[in-house]
């Protein structure tokens, strides 16, 4: 394919949302108020695992302004995106501290909050499952007694009744047992970390109004507008077409807004007040304790090599902590399995990936969907193995890196089109971090400098029929309005789609007007804005819509110019004769149809429509994992240089390098934003973020003072971002997805560097000075 020299794709076009965001004028959902709006508040469980004996609402009703109180009895059915295991409001049992037990609707937020504090629940406490390791034990208390009876909404979820296993996904490739027996050398290591939080700056919010004609109007801070419609249809028995979802721009999401939690609560609340508009906005503590969070993880990795140092066998046991309900953790369990090896060619693979219930807040998708987590385990093991084999860790990686012609754990065949160049990324990252094998370097003042690297990959595990659509509507002046259901959550997707449209239409990007909000009544269907899938899916849909519009412009232009359509080309605001470019007409004279001098008009408005759907994806086989779960693998390498202070165990991050092959880069500046922000997020989580639970399963740090995000000044002194651009034949202008990738190798690279500096193997997160101290004490000074 050749489109000639490009004019906007590949250029750093300014984000179309930047100016408006800088003025404070952008209206996020919490900034909108609606006439006559009522306010909802959740009352939440004070037990992590208990039977509900009674809920007394009588005192709450006495608070002025209270209009309704809804408890689990109103809708005692479980819902969910993959496995329907979660009642929107707890009934019979509570399974985590902070779980909604009632929703109060009142005139003002403070009244609803006062009333929520007066809900009195009586519980019969049950034994608490307080860790994923405990959940996996045979005699562990059961959190879901009926898990075998839950409705499955997608393929590839396999609960094991009578256990806390919400899903068990298997990979069986080659003959692991035989290969393991003949390995020249092997290694085995175990890793773990707790649940943590997305901590998007905007907390989750939803409003619902039920019109008298039965239409349900939802406004939400969601990455999944069409999933809301689907879930309302499946569980509330509403017509899909009668559920209308509006999504404004989001104040960050990171996967946490892919889950559907507040919308059903707001629906039940609105239903209880005759359909009036009800707003449910989580405060920070609720957003951390009640709303879904980031998975916890426990992994055991076993690797074996042959004489040449090539990996021939890999065994992976993942315990994905879902918390109280499976939500997207069931999907993450599958995603972690299908990419379990990392970007290495390993012919014999055995993986058991378990989605585990615990009595903690439930988890959902988090930027990277299982990959930052598995990469931490894989890349730490690779480093330890290289050390054991006395090889340079980068050389060991390059020896084993996966290449076109080889197969993934699910036996998908890799081609130069569907995977980027991991070796090139690794080699470039090595140069950028200044890797010379001489480390750590100890200075006289007790500061230890070390570098760590990580290699990673990820496919975009969408549903097999995931799709997006786009509409390009020509205005009277020849400019274009672009509409799609891609949610702008900070990643810059609206700018990217405008660039793709402008490039194909050969227009200025400033002449593409993009609808920033999503309204499911007008926008075409889009699977969800997750999985780094939007540039690929919606971008291809925009290309198809542009081609459709170009066909229409040529058809009308052929009438106006009295020639055949084949003679024509479109560009620079004109429809013109290819062979004689000076003969043509301006697009504005055909945008609404061509009007002859006598007033007769032909054509009508040019409206380009395009849809793109995933091609040839398949579910995974239950016993072996065999299948084609994703369209392509973006790959990358990251490297981190740290300086650790022996005297107090603190460290600073000096440099953070990311080299990614995501195919063609549509906008180098927004892409660099994503990579810097991605590695920052990964480093922030790895360095200091984790929910702390007490013995009662209660989070001890549910706010941004005690749960510590990286603050200004704690970020790396220097970020370096580069791209290798191996084009994908079927991506828009050769692009693959990149949105999640910056985060994936961060924890692994940091932990590898710190392990070198501190001379102990760090196998847990977060990498606090205390963890380093404990690990060293256990290694060198056992009590």
Partner 1 sequence: MIVSNTGKYTVVSLLVNGSSQDIMIRSADTLLCTLRNQLGLTGAKQACGNGDCGACTVLVDGKPMHSCLLLTMEALNSGITTIEGLRHSPVRQAFVDNWAIQCGYCTPGFIVNGHALVTEHPDAEDERIEEWLQSNLCRCTGYQEIKDAIKSALNANNLLDSNGIDTAEQ
Binding flag, residue 88, partner 1 (CB under 8 A): no
Please choose, out of 24-32, 354-362, 389-397, 445-453, the segment that lies near partner 1 by the rule CB under 8 A: 24-32
Helices (H), 262-370: 262-272, 284-289, 329-338
Question: Rounded distance, CA 220 to CA 228, Å?
Answer: 9
Q: Is 510 in the site for partner 1 (CB under 8 A)?
A: no
Question: For partner 1, which residue of 120, 181, 201, 240 counts as binding (CB under 8 A)?
Answer: 201
Q: Per CB under 8 A, does 666 bind partner 1?
A: no
Decide: is 326 part of the binding site for partner 1 (CB under 8 A): no
Q: Which of 680, 693, 723, 733 binds partner 1 (CB under 8 A)?
A: 680
| Beta carbons of 223 and 489 less than 8 angstroms apart | yes
Distance CA(291)–CA(100), nearest Å, equals: 10
Q: Please identify which residue in 8, 15, 232, 751 interacts with partner 1, judged by CB under 8 A.
A: 15
Residue 211 gets which letter from DSSP? -
Return the SS3 of 206.
strand
Task: Check binding of 35 to partner 1 (CB under 8 A).
Answer: no
Q: How far is CA 18 from CA 14, 206, 249, 494, 690, in A?
A: 8, 25, 12, 11, 32
Q: 44 - beta bridge partners?
A: 100
**Total binding residues for partner 1 by CB under 8 A?**
54
Regarding 413 and contact with partner 1 (CB under 8 A), the answer is: no
> Minimal CA–CA distance to 219: which of 366, 33, 482?
33
To partner 1, the closest distance from the beta carbon of 241 in angstroms equals 31
- Give the full edge-to-edge strand order of the sheet including 93-94: 93-94, 50-56, 120-125
Cα angle 766, 767, 769; round to 5: 125
Give the H/E segment covering residue 772: helix 769-780
Q: How far apart are CA 371 and CA 497, in angstroms?
A: 26
Dihedral of the alpha carbons of 564, 570, 573, 578, in degrees to the nearest 10: -70
Per the CB < 8 A criterion, the answer to whether 599 and 589 are in contact is no
Stretch that binds partner 1, among 296-304, 376-384, 444-452, 705-713 (CB under 8 A): 705-713
CB-nearer residue toward partner 1: 110 or 522: 110
Closest separation in Å from C-beta 498 to partner 1: 17
Interface pick for partner 1 out of 1, 2, 5, 22 (rule CB under 8 A): 22
Listed ranges 171-179, 246-254, 512-520, 539-547: which one lies at the site for partner 1 (CB under 8 A): 246-254
Regarding 555 and contact with partner 1 (CB under 8 A), the answer is no
Query: Which listed residue (5, 23, 445, 465) binds partner 1 by CB under 8 A?
Result: 23
Site residues (CB under 8 A) for partner 1, limited to 56-85: 64
CB of 26 to partner 1, least distance (A): 6
One residue of 9, 94, 126, 199 binding partner 1 per CB under 8 A: 199
CA distance 450 to 762: 14
251 binds partner 1 per the rule CB under 8 A: yes
| 468, 486 Cβ separation under 8 angstroms | yes
Q: How far is the CB of 488 from partner 1 (least distance, A)?
A: 8
28: contact with partner 1 by CB under 8 A:
yes
Q: Is 720 in the site for partner 1 (CB under 8 A)?
A: no
In the complex, minimum distance from the CB of residue 453 to partner 1, in angstroms, rounded to a whole number: 19
* Neighbour tally for 694: CB within 10 Å: 11
SS3 call for 302: strand
Binding residue for partner 1, selected from 78, 323, 343, 490, defined by CB under 8 A: 490
Our finding on whether 252 is near partner 1 (CB under 8 A) is yes
203 binds partner 1 (CB under 8 A): yes
Report the residue from 26, 391, 609, 654 that binds partner 1 according to the rule CB under 8 A.
Answer: 26
38, 148, 270, 502 from 33: Cα distances, Å: 10, 43, 16, 35
State the SS3 of 368-425. CCCHHHHHHHHHHHHHHHHHHCCCCHHHHHHHHECCCCCECCCCCECCCCCECCHHHH
Q: Which of residues 268-287 bind partner 1 (CB under 8 A)?
A: 283-284
Candidate residues 3, 19, 175, 434; the one interacting with partner 1 per rule CB under 8 A: 19
Which range touches partner 1 (CB under 8 A), out of 250-258, 316-324, 342-350, 407-415? 250-258
Q: Is 669 in the site for partner 1 (CB under 8 A)?
A: yes
Distance (Å, whole) CA 504 – CA 624 = 42
Q: Which is nearer to partner 1, 391 or 669 (CB)?
A: 669
- According to the binding rule CB under 8 A, does residue 676 interact with partner 1? yes
* List of E strands, 45-178: 50-56, 66-71, 93-94, 100-106, 120-125, 165-173
719 binds partner 1 (CB under 8 A): yes
Residues in the site for partner 1, rule: CB under 8 A?
Answer: 14-15, 17-19, 21-28, 30-31, 33, 64, 110, 199-203, 249-254, 283-284, 489-492, 669-670, 672-673, 676-677, 679-681, 703-705, 709, 711-713, 715-716, 719
């Amino acid at each position: 394919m050749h489109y000639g020299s490009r004019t906007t794709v590949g250029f750093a076009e300014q984000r179309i949302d930047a100016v408006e965001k800088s003025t404070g004028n952008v209206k996020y959902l919490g900034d909108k108020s609606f006439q006559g709006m009522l306010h909802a508040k959740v009352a939440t469980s004070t037990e992590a695992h208990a039977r509900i004996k009674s809920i007394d609402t009588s005192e709450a009703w006495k608070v002025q302004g209270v209009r309704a109180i809804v408890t689990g009895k109103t809708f005692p059915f479980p819902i969910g995106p993959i496995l329907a295991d979660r009642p929107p409001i707890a009934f019979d049992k509570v399974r985590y501290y902070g779980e909604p037990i009632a929703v109060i609707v009142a005139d003002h937020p403070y009244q609803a909050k006062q009333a929520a504090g007066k809900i009195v629940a009586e519980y019969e406490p049950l034994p608490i499952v307080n860790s994923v390791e405990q959940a996996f034990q045979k005699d562990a208390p059961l959190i879901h007694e009926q898990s075998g009876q839950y409705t499955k909404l997608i393929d590839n979820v396999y609960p094991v009744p009578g256990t806390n296993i919400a899903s068990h996904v298997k990979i069986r490739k080659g003959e692991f047992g035989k290969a393991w027996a003949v390995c020249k050398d092997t290694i085995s290591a175990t890793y773990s970390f707790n649940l943590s939080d997305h901590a998007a700056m905007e907390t989750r919010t939803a409003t619902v109004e039920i019109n008298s004609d039965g239409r349900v109007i939802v406004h939400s801070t969601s990455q999944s507008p069409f999933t809301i419609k689907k879930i309302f249809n499946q569980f509330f028995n509403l017509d899909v077409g009668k559920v209308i979802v509006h999504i404004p721009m989001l104040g960050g999401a990171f996967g946490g807004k892919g889950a559907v939690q507040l919308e059903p609560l707001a629906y039940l609340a609105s239903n209880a007040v005759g359909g009036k508009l009800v707003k449910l906005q989580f405060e920070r503590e609720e957003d951390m304790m009640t709303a879904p969070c980031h998975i916890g993880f426990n992994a055991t990795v076993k690797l074996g090599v042959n004489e040449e140092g090539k990996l021939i066998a890999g065994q992976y046991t993942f315990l994905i902590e879902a918390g109280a309900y499976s939500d997207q953790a069931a999907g993450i369990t599958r995603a972690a399995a299908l990419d379990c090896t990392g970007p290495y060619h390993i012919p014999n693979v055995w993986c058991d990936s378990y989605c585990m219930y615990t009595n903690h807040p439930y988890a959902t998708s988090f930027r990277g969907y299982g990959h930052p987590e598995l990469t931490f385990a894989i890349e730490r093991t690779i480093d330890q193995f290289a050390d054991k084999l006395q090889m340079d860790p980068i050389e060991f990686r390059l020896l084993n890196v996966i290449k076109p012609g080889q197969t993934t754990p699910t036996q998908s065949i890799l081609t130069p089109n569907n995977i980027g160049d991991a070796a090139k990324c690794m080699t470039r990252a090595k140069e950028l971090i200044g890797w010379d094998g001489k480390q750590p370097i100890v200075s006289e003042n007790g500061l230890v400098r070390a570098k760590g690297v990580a290699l990673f990959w990820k496919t975009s595990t969408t549903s097999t029929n995931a799709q997006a659509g786009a509409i390009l509507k020509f205005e009277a002046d020849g400019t274009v309005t672009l509409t799609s259901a891609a949610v702008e959550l900070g990643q810059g997707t609206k700018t990217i789609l405008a660039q793709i449209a402008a490039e194909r239409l050969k227009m200025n990007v400033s002449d593409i007007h993009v609808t920033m909000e999503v309204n499911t009544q007008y926008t075409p269907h889009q699977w969800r804005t997750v999985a780094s899938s939007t540039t690929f899916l919606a971008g291809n849909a925009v290309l198809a819509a542009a081609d459709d519009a170009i066909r229409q412009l040529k058809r009308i232009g052929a009438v106006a110019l009295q020639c055949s359509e084949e003679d024509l080309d479109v560009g620079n605001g004109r429809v013109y004769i290819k062979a004689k470019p000076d003969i043509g007409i301006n697009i504005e004279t055909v945008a609404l149809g061509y009007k002859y001098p006598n007033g007769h008009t032909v054509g009508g408005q040019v409206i380009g429509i395009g849809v793109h759907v995933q091609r040839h994806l398949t579910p995974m086989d239950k016993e072996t994992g065999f299948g084609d779960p994703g369209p392509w693998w973006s790959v990358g390498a990251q490297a981190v240089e740290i300086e650790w202070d022996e005297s107090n165990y603190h460290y600073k991050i000096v440099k953070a390098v990311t080299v990614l092959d995501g195919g063609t880069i549509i906008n180098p500046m927004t892409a660099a934003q994503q990579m810097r922000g991605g590695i920052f997020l990964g480093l922030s989580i790895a360095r200091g973020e984790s929910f702390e639970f007490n013995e009662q399963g209660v989070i001890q740090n549910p706010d941004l003072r005690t749960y510590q995000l990286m603050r200004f000044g704690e970020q790396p002194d220097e970020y370096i971002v580069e791209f290798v651009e191996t084009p994908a034949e079927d991506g828009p202008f050769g692009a693959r997805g990149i949105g999640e990738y910056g985060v994936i190798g961060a924890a692994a690279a940091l932990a590898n560097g710190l392990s070198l500096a501190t001379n102990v193997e760090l196998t847990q997160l977060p990498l606090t000075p205390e963890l380093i101290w404990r690990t060293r004490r256990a290694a060198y000074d056992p009590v």
